[in-house]
Amino acid sequence: AQSVTQLDSHVSVSEGTPVLLRCNYSSSYSPSLFWYVQHPNKGLQLLLKYTSAATLVKGINGFEAEFKKSETSFHLTKPSAHMSDAAEYFCVVSYNQAGTALIFGKGTTLSVSS
């Protein structure tokens, strides 16, 4: 069965410091993995995706994630947080082998203080 676990429900950082949002997944086949971001009162937006190409994936707004098969992890990082990064972040794994439906983690709320 496919599942995804976001290890932190809330992460707080100061502006200009690194961001690390942790995600572990479980999949019975080679998964597709994604990070989505949801700003308050908005829909979700794709940050980045891994689909069995390069293990280090670069996304929008300076975010990147590394696929580590041995650790079944797909952690999201950013070298320097900005106030506008404050949002809810979802790690996502494909629901079926066709990749046509997705399972979302429970989300990590990122707070950024000045």
Which CB sits closer to other proteins, 45 or 111? 45
Q: Are strands 108-113 and 10-14 parallel, antiparallel or unpaired?
A: parallel
If one asks whether residue 26 binds other proteins (CB under 8 A), the answer comes out as: no
If one asks whether residue 99 binds other proteins (CB under 8 A), the answer comes out as: yes
If one asks whether residue 45 binds other proteins (CB under 8 A), the answer comes out as: yes
Maximum CA pair distance of the chain?
A: 43
Which residues between 68 and 97 bind other proteins (CB under 8 A)? 90, 92, 94-97
Which CB sits closer to other proteins, 103 or 110? 103
Instruction: Find the shortest distance in angstroms from Cβ 52 to other proteins.
Output: 8
Angstrom distance (rounded) from CA 8 to CA 24: 11
Residues whose CB is less than 8 angstroms from the CB of residue 45 and which lie 6 or more positions away in sequence, other chains included: 36, 37, 38, 39
CA neighbours within 13 Å on the CB side: how many for 91? 29
If one asks whether residue 51 binds other proteins (CB under 8 A), the answer comes out as: yes
